[in-house]
Structure 1
Amino acid sequence: MTGTVTQVSTASNGSQLASVKTGVSLSADGSLVAFQSTDSDQHAGIMVKNLVTGGLSSVSTNGAGVEANGQSYNAQMAANGQYVAFLSKATNLVAADTNNADDVFVKNLLTGAVVNASTSAAGAQANAPSADVALSADGHWAAFTTYASNLVAGDDNYADIYVKNLLTGAITRASTNSAGGCRQRQQR
């Protein structure tokens, strides 16, 4: 360790970004950092800074590179640096996003592909907002909290933790006891 401090909230040319917020996440080797920043349109978006090259790129874009049309936050980078998960209110990151809720998106930084992880195994959109996303080291598993009741059969309580297999699309409710039961519905 050298003790060197590097400011990452800068554009590729070194200029200071207008506004940087929370949600900082590093790759395992420390070469990439993901964070939330506010752009000129005042949308919070997810950025990735390459600490080796100094390059800065927007992650909260769809597969064609179009910026999200809503707020994006809570960046979580996979240890391998290939995937970034984040929450977004945007409706243009994947096709047919019509639930008007915060969804969990995972972006492949190598291919540019984006998937909505807060969906059922059959691909149905969550019927309520999601939050608190985390990624496995290889980026193939996403865990998140959601208030949705339609991701697995029999979900009749208020909020749950789910784990989505991003390779197969399978989804599992993780917030259950050893018998597969869950806590009682909590009222707001």
Structure 2
Amino acid sequence: MVVFTASGGLEGYQIYVHDRQTGTRRLASAASDGSMANDWSFAPSLSADGQTVAFYTYATNLADGDTNGRTDVYVRDFKAGTTTRVSGAPKDVEGDGSSGIPSISGDGRYVAFESTSANLVGDDTNRKSDIFVHDRTPGPEPRFALTDLDVSPSTVRPGLPVRITAQVKNVGEKTGGYDAVLRINGEVEQRQAVQVRADKAVRLSFDARRSDAGTYTVELGPLTGRFVVTG
């Protein structure tokens, strides 16, 4: 299977999948009813079996309620005969930014993409483009976002405690457990397991002590910080 972009006439560039064995060609940038996207489509990514294509588009006719005026990421599933937007926020809310450059996993389950939207997950406050992963498997699942790392005090005498805290929020749709792993200088220091309800947050808290003077790097999930033990 070969996926490519070609001119679709008045509707701009479109996405096609060509089967080299049968010589057949199918339109991927189409609505669930098969109608061609009404605007340009780009950057196709094809699953290993050639049955699922992710792409981004300016089109507004591929999903009901596409009114955000931005590019969105869609998945065309040839087996199911469906086209689904995957760059939306929870509870069927549209993304408030532009999404594009998708990459679909070999089995067609996961779609990674870039987006300037700030409402796809909780606490996205960096005002930058981020990378997101959408799981196409239906059903509510817990998903966690770790933020607000605090290491206090940042400078201590040997043997005195340093309090390390962070917030973990469940941005998914189902209660679930989060296993927090605190590392200091790359070594596992402590673990803490918490249950977090959907759309709720809890505060993680650890105490660490060091007797040797030096600078220590703290890692908690994707967050990093440091503290200094003076001589």
- What is the TM-score normalised by the length of structure 2? 0.60
> Is residue 129 of structure 1 aligned with residue 171 of structure 2?
no
Distance 2:7 2:20 in 1: 20
Residues 73-84 of structure 1 mapped to structure 2, 5 A cutoff: 73-84=42-53
Tell me if structure 2 keeps the 8 A contact 1:83–1:107: yes
| Cα displacement string for residues 78-126 of structure 1 (whole angstroms, at most 9, x for unaligned residues) | 1121200001010000111111111110010112201111012322111
Structure 2's unaligned 5+ residue stretches are 148-218, 225-231
Change (3 A) 1:109 1:181: same
Identity of aligned residues (%): 31
Distance 2:10 2:28 in 1: 16
Q: Secondary structure at the match of 2:10?
A: coil
Tell me if structure 1 keeps the 8 A contact 2:11–2:38: no
Tell me if structure 2 keeps the 8 A contact 1:163–1:173: no
Amino acid across the alignment from 1:116: R
> Is residue 87 of structure 1 aligned with residue 129 of structure 2?
no
Tell me if structure 2 keeps the 8 A contact 1:144–1:163: yes
Change (3 A) 1:181 1:129: farther
Tell me if structure 2 keeps the 8 A contact 1:164–1:172: no
Structure-1 residue corresponding to 2:132: 162
Tell me if structure 2 keeps the 8 A contact 1:120–1:171: no
> Is residue 179 of structure 1 aligned with residue 148 of structure 2?
no
Distance 1:173 1:133 in 2: 22
Distance 1:111 1:70 in 2: 23
Distance 2:130 2:144 in 1: 7
Change (3 A) 1:50 1:172: farther
Distance 1:96 1:137 in 2: 29
Aligned-pair CA distance for 1:138:
0.8
Structure-1 residue corresponding to 2:163: none
Amino acid across the alignment from 1:144: F
My pick for the range that moved more, 144-153 or 163-172, is 163-172
Structure-1 residue corresponding to 2:30: 61
Distance 1:82 1:72 in 2: 18
- What is the TM-score normalised by the length of structure 1? 0.73
Structure of greater Rg? 2
CA RMSD, aligned part only? Answer: 2.3
* Aligned structure 1 segments of 4 or more residues deviating by more than 2 angstroms: 168-174, 176-182
Give 1 or 2: higher strand fraction.
2
Structure-1 residue corresponding to 2:117: 148
